[in-house]
A and B are shown apart, each in its own frame.
Chain A
Amino acid sequence: GQNIDQPTEMTATEGAIVQINCTYQTSGFNGLFWYQQHAGEAPTFLSYNVLDGLEEKGRFSSFLSRSKGYSYLLLKELQMKDSASYLCAVRDRWRGYQKVTFGIGTKLQVIP
């Protein structure tokens, strides 16, 4: 099975940079996702990492280290609309099938 850990809450200031960490333990790692979820809405896809390193997409970047079972999501130039929960999800390969399990999510509050 999977064990995915991420902080439950974070607060950051508008215009600043925030890093949300995620650690995981899994037996058939086949990729890591980050999702954003605003209150009362469905999760939406932000990023995907399967190889070590940094993936950059505008103000958002995601990093992966498979040997350490570690990922982070970096949000730059924070805006008030970035206040949301950020979910780390791990995809496992099991008997040729793909299973996706989510962490509990990090609730980010952006303050003026």
Chain B
Amino acid sequence: DAGVIQSPRHEVTEMGQEVTLRCKPISGHDYLFWYRQTMMRGLELLIYFNNNVPIDDSGMPEDRFSAKMPNASFSTLKIQPSEPRDSAVYFCASSFQGRTGELFFGEGSRLTVL
């Protein structure tokens, strides 16, 4: 069974460009989380979805960030326009609200904005 799949694994872009990160959760999972990880701040929760519906986006840093989940098998995180301070590793994770409900993480997308 495939795990959480993220793309791209690495992205280098210039300030002002649009960045789109993609995530395919594990089939059957009903929660999807987007996190950003930096050395200074650790893993920050940006937004999470339940059954494709955004529940809490209070962690999204600015209006430049947006996320969608058009169906149960696909989500995107978009940054427009990108800035150097957005450089980080972005993780997508999914879970099923069962007994433990542990999160399964994708490999992450390492974003560098020059």
Assembled-state Cα–Cα distance A44/B33 (Å): 15
In which size bucket is the chain A interface? 20 to 34
- In the bound complex, residues from chain B placing their C-beta under 8 Å from that of A17 are none
Q: Count B-side interface residues using an 8 Å CB cutoff.
A: 23
Pick from B45, B48, B105: contact of A42, CB under 8 Å: B105
Nearest B residue to A92 by beta-carbon distance? B56
Contact of A43 with B105 at beta-carbon distance under 8 Å, contacts A99-B45, A99-B48, A100-B45 already known? yes
Contact of A45 with B31 at beta-carbon distance under 8 Å, contacts A87-B43, A97-B50, A99-B56 already known? no
19 A-B pairs in the complex with CB atoms less than 8 angstroms apart: A31-B100, A31-B101, A33-B102, A35-B103, A41-B107, A42-B108, A43-B91, A45-B104, A87-B42, A87-B43, A97-B55, A98-B101, A99-B45, A100-B33, A102-B42, A102-B43, A102-B45, A104-B42, A105-B42
**B residues with CB within 8 A of A:** 31, 33, 35, 41-43, 45, 48, 50, 55-56, 91, 95, 97, 100-108
